[in-house]
């Protein structure tokens, strides 16, 4: 057994250090932003009859996958697909008694793709076991997020005469979210560390995204990102 291990271990080490040209795996992130509470009047027939309040939310969690290729001279190519989620609460205040909604839970989601060119700044290694490199990069990102609760959404999924009834049409909700998705493009910069142990890859880095319409009333956001995957 010892002889077998002593034979296989050098092969794994050499293959991970010499023949690794890319990798893939799981992406997790903690995005940092703040959406303030807002109240919007609800107008029907020219009259102010109610209001909708978004109680605001902070930060979000993302999950997705990544693929990178580092066989190209000078730069690495990095591709990600991520779903970012933030739960929030809303209230519907109606002047008609008994038809209000208080602190109802809903959710905001963003589906995004990132394309990044990265460059190695420097690297160091732990003899025979792991190697680490510091990278910096920049790229473009594409986003498709669902809209926030609004008068138009409530009328579409409940009917204009049934606002505040609490009875919604799930099929209509799904159709509304698809038809009214918010799309945007932006750019980003990032820097972080890649750790490689044999064929196992892990990344820890910070990214700053610049995009006007992704986070409501914000021009961008930052995120801390962790990856766990395999090199090939």
What percentage of the chain reaches a pLDDT higher than 70?
Answer: 81
Number of domains in the chain: 1
Please work out, in degrees rounded to the nearest 5, the angle formed at the alpha carbon of residue 138 by the alpha carbons of 137 and 142: 135
Q: Cα-atom radius of gyration of the chain, to the nearest Å?
A: 24
Global pTM reads 0.81
- For 87-136, the pLDDT digits (tens) are 999 887 876 665 667 888 888 999 999 999 999 898 877 665 578 889 99
CA-wise closest residue to 104 among 29, 158, 64: 158
Give the per-residue pLDDT at 123. Answer: 84
- For 145-156, the pLDDT digits (tens) are 998 888 778 777
Find the Cα–Cα–Cα–Cα dihedral 121, 207, 228, 114, rounded to 10°.
Answer: -100
Quote the domain boundaries for residue 102.
Answer: 2-231
d(CA 96, CA 85) in angstroms, rounded, equals 34
Please work out, in degrees rounded to the nearest 5, the angle formed at the alpha carbon of residue 107 by the alpha carbons of 39 and 229: 140
d(CA 48, CA 94) in angstroms, rounded, equals 10
Q: Residue 137 above 80 pLDDT?
A: yes
Residue 117 pairs with which residues in a beta bridge?
77, 138
pLDDT classification of 183: cutoffs 50, 70, 90: very high
Q: Residue 30 above 60 pLDDT?
A: yes
Q: Residue 225 above 70 pLDDT?
A: yes
* Cα→Cα distances 71→23, 66, 119, Å: 11, 16, 12
CATH code, domain carrying 169: 2.40.160.20
- For 57-79, the pLDDT digits (tens) are 999 999 999 999 987 778 899 99
């Amino acid at each position: 057994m010892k002889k077998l291990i002593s034979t296989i271990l050098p092969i794994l080490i050499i293959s991970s250090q010499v023949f690794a040209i890319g990798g893939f795996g799981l992406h997790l992130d903690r995005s940092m932003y703040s959406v303030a509470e807002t109240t919007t009047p609800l107008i029907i027939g020219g009259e102010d009859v109610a209001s909708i309040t978004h109680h605001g939310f902070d930060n979000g969690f993302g999950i997705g996958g990544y693929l990178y290729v580092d066989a190209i001279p000078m730069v690495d190519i990095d591709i990600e697909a991520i779903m970012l989620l933030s739960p929030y609460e809303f209230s519907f205040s109606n002047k008609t008694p008994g038809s209000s909604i208080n602190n109802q839970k809903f959710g905001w989601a963003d589906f995004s793709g990132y394309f990044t060119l990265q460059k190695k700044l420097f690297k160091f290694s732990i003899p025979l076991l792991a190697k680490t490199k510091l990278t910096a990069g920049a790229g473009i990102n594409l986003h498709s997020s669902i809209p926030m609760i609004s008068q138009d959404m409530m009328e579409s999924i409940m009917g204009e005469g049934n606002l505040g009834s609490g009875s919604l049409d799930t099929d209509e909700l799904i159709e509304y979210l698809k038809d009214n998705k918010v799309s945007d493009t932006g750019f980003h910069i990032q820097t972080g560390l890649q750790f490689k142990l044999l064929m196992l890859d892990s990344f820890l880095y910070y990214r700053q995204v610049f995009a006007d319409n992704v986070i409501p009333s914000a021009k961008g956001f930052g995120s801390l990102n962790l990856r766990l995957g395999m090199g090939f």
